[in-house]
Amino acid sequence: MKIAEECVGCIINQSIKVADAIDADESLKEELSSTVEKMSQEFSFELSPPEVASDVYEKMAEIANKEDLYDEIKQLSTEKARSFIPILTTRLQKSSNKLLTATKIAVAGNVIDLAAAVEFDLQEELEKIFHTEFAHNNFQELMQELQKAEKVVILGDNVGEHIFDHLFIEVLKELYPKVLFSYMVRGNPIINDVTLKEAHEAGFDTLCELVDSGVNTPGFAYNRANAYARKLFDEADLVISKGMGNYECLSPSHRKNICFLLKVKCEVVAHSLGQSVGDIICKLV
């Protein structure tokens, strides 16, 4: 996906969210806002929103002299997500369709998105997710691809959401024990996306193959990934892509068998999918 006019205002507004997150004084707020506003005049409409956002966030981090702009908030998101694990684990144990329940949990976690134009409440989403149908529903096709796959790559998205991804992969490993699962994360802190740091803390390194993609974008930009990440991505029988940023970077992609799992949180992505803001998506392409 290339950025649209609507994306420009959304990216500019990120400076306000960053200023609030780091408790910036008025001078720093003004510098962040004016810098991003100036950068927006030269945004390339040949790039995806995550590629544009990466340059903006790197500049804001430089101005704020803070490598991880959302480190404190990411920690809080992780703690909040962990608080739901006992009840979700119980729900999984009682489920008659464990894969569907785990997939819905993974999608519910996708609401933890600090870059989204529209924000949703995690508790509310978890209360209704199990009674909500996928607006685009390729769940049966996903199940069929998993049954014949040998190598599956899961593209991580946001911190907090990754706690639910861990639960998702636990179920995948239980149901498909012969499959080699790899979980791919960002190469450096960008917005509230999951990196090696948070993935290690959550125990992904003992759950499955944990991979630093090398990308500096809030989405898997293939051309920015390191050689090993590209090789895994190309050779996997199935890629499960979490969240809007990965969708924006991989629509279109040179490969097939990508399953996009996400919550629609902006009109641009809604239009691309032919769905509505608030819909949940399980789309295999």
Residue 285 · residue 256 · CB < 8 Å = yes
* 235-249 per-position pLDDT tens digit: 999 999 999 999 999
Q: Check pLDDT > 80 for residue 118.
A: no
* 39-50 per-position pLDDT tens digit: 999 999 999 999
Q: What is the CA radius of gyration of the chain?
A: 18
**How far, in Å, CA of 123 to CA of 263, rounded?**
15
Query: And the tokens for 131?
Result: 């009674």
**How far, in Å, CA of 121 to CA of 133, rounded?**
18
Residue 121 · residue 263 · CB < 8 Å = no
Q: Which residue has the tokens 């981090």?
A: 61
Segment (H or E) for 118: none
Residue 85 · residue 168 · CB < 8 Å = no
> Of 54, 73, 71, 64, which is closest to residue 190 (Cα–Cα)?
54
Per-residue confidence band for 115, with pLDDT thresholds at 50, 70 and 90: confident
* 139-197 per-position pLDDT tens digit: 999 999 999 999 999 999 999 999 999 999 999 999 999 999 999 999 999 999 999 99
The per-residue pLDDT of the chain, averaged, comes to 95
Mean pLDDT of 117-139: 88
pLDDT at site 125: 87
Angle at 71 between CA 200 and CA 195, to 5 degrees: 35
In this prediction the pTM is 0.95
Query: And the tokens for 79?
Result: 């703690």
Backbone φ and ψ of 242, nearest 5°:
-95, 130
Mean pLDDT of 51-61: 95
> Of 214, 210, 279, which is closest to residue 244 (Cα–Cα)?
279
